[in-house]
Amino acid sequence: MDVYDAVDSRRAVRAFSAEPVPKAALERVLAAAARAPSSGNLQPWQVYVVTGEPLAELKRRATARALAGDPGDEREYPMYPADLVPPYLDRFSAAAAQRYAALGIERDDPARPVKISALNSAAFGAPVVLFCYLDRTMGPGQWADAGMYLQTVMLLLRAEGLHSCPQVMWTMFRRTVGRIVGADDGLVLLCGVSVGFERPGVPPLRTGRADLTETVTFVGM
């Protein structure tokens, strides 16, 4: 797949089919993604690939917590700044409205938080979830490396005909995830990435992006 096509077609899919993902495809993707940029070549990411019965058990446990109204484990890092201001707040609100509409959840539904959490904890039906951890001794530079690594993974998945959905939500159930994958206390969960084939017949959701003039300044050109 052309790189531009991979970037353009990558989006957070929230409706996966039950079709199994070939292990060979995941091995190709993860082996190639190891070439992602890494300051000092630390390669700070530690990835657990979960599928089959372990994933089913994780989904059951996490969904039970979500449906019980469990607020989740204490945060180890903030998902967003405490006080978002424009234009970031505007972009966030617009994207959230699109997602709620696509998931069929009314914005004023009092059960909205529980419904959203339950959909997330089921990984939107994905048959595979990758969990990316970092050693607790790592700093902001290595977190940036992990972000570049995950983007590389998601683009390579497109080359295999697969889709993905990065989910920071899994950090809310990090203790449950840790017990399933066997991650020790020296690791911190960055996020999960649901992987699979998109379920046919579901209208695709494609959030907007800011105009280039809003985010890029050319100097000397």
Mean per-residue pLDDT, 136-165 = 98
- Mean pLDDT of all residues belonging to the chain: 93
Confidence class for position 117, pLDDT limits 50, 70, 90: confident
Highest mean pLDDT among 64-78, 96-110, 131-145: 131-145
Residue, of 144 and 116, whose pLDDT is higher: 144
High-pLDDT (> 90) share of the chain, %: 78
Residue, of 67 and 39, whose pLDDT is higher: 39
Cis-peptide, bond into residue 81, ω within 30° of zero? no
pLDDT at 21: 98
SS3 assignment, position 199: coil
| Alpha carbons 170 and 79: distance in angstroms, whole number | 11
pTM above 0.75, yes or no: yes
From residue 73, give the alpha-carbon distance in Å to each of 3, 69, 132, 143, 185: 38, 12, 17, 21, 14
pLDDT tens across 42-98, in order? 999 999 999 999 999 999 999 999 889 898 999 999 989 999 999 999 998 888 888
Confidence class for position 108, pLDDT limits 50, 70, 90: confident
pLDDT tens across 171-206, in order? 999 999 999 999 999 999 999 999 999 999 887 888
pLDDT at 201: 86
Residue, of 70 and 219, whose pLDDT is higher: 219
Beta bridge partners of 164: 12, 195
pLDDT over threshold 80, residue 155: yes
Handedness of CA 122, 95, 17, 189 (dihedral sign): negative
